[in-house]
Structure 1
């Protein structure tokens, strides 16, 4: 693991027991939502986390910002364990890592004015900005994300979807975090608005030097913003590398399939990718396949795939480009 990383997760696990019975409950299974994830992000860089719906991305986001507790593993934020903090120590640590939610419509309280929404984190952490200076700080944050400070007295329903997401970003930036976790933060927006929000995030990251974990199911969106990419499938990271390496030389069959299905699969000036159509359904995390969890949908699967779980490693090629596949 990189000693310079501001956020690290090591062997992170989130298993949810499935119980049966009312008075006398017994465990009949375990849902392996996150199953042994390692990741890290350094100051000023963006890690893109990509995968299909249900692969565990949002649960991982909740673990990273301490909205959920891991079953096992550790999370380190700015050199200190985050997963073991409780009470006031946890509340104090949360100002260093903030979450931008997926839905800009439901993540804002419709009863509050926008200025109150952005100011609320400063009330929770009063040591950051004196009370008399908070209105000026709210206006500064609104300008920073491209909103008119004169609209601070309006309520969320008076803004468009893109503007509401800007409000959510301003609220997250109010406590001057070191890490921003964006959980599908542009998926509910129109394509043109997505581009505006992505450009805003890139500009903010350059100006403020914050690290970002950007979660999405859309590889085309992640390509626009990420420095490194981690591909997730059924609770595990199955490929990881720089954005250029993952897009130009995908090594895991699942990554190849995702890229072949994207809108940039036949981008002008590049060789067209063969369209790969996956068969079968995504296995249940309650009963994942033995060995490689992708083998039930993989055209390269062999006997070894059912027998042995492939480790995430860099078999050859560029350093840091890791893949969990026996046939990489």
Structure 2
């Protein structure tokens, strides 16, 4: 049986074609762990509000932690017939704690919940990307030091211009990556805002301790306007923009490497371990990884434009487009 988080006035069953068209489980199930951790914090808050007792609190939290462990060990099979991640998560939890699932949903809307877990995911993604940028910068610096005396042609308009040090060229990308990293860190100011307590759009009648929720979920601050919090996706736009600029820089680096490794230039060498060959011409050695990095910037641009196009015409508050 499918878990359903809405009903009330409806007297007819949802047409299967409409469910298939509107469900989002294919897109949001990857947020499973964030759904779980946010619900642990919510259970603690429901206990404080006396919606559940200590025994119920312990039982639910134990069940959620078991689901997290199962998810990490790939023991959970995603039910793509569920409407969304929230429904899927509650359906799994219901098998462990039965009717207590119904208490868990007290005072909370999916509108605020999806915003909350998306913000949690992007916060972690930013931290991971900053580490990866650090690693790439370290590799580039090491390579520059290995060839500290090497001189290569410098170009303008892709025409030979002036000789430059190899390290000077490499460090131009180190600096670009530093700006990228700073951009991601600045983006956190818009991402790390806790929306819980916003309800569907008009807040909650429950006297929630939002300060405690903010601290437990590691948000930098709390959202102040419930209408804004359930509809804001600026943080996703900013995150996509950061990734777009990062990939533009990586695309330019890839293009330089492709050109400089070609037979007309020949001062960059790719190992056989990072190149591919031709099915017809055995003498060929192709820089496919660099070419794919170059094309990834187009995907990032497409995602950014698509998100902007979705947001530009929406009315205030939550809409399913989000």
Could you say whether these structures have the same fold, taking a TM-score greater than 0.5 normalized by the shorter chain as the test? no
Structure 1 or 2: larger strand share? 1
TM-score (norm 1): 0.24
RCO (CA 8 Å, sep 6+): is it higher in 1 or 2? Answer: 1
Higher helix share: 2
Q: Which has the larger radius of gyration?
A: 2
What TM-score results when the alignment is normalised by the length of structure 2?
A: 0.24
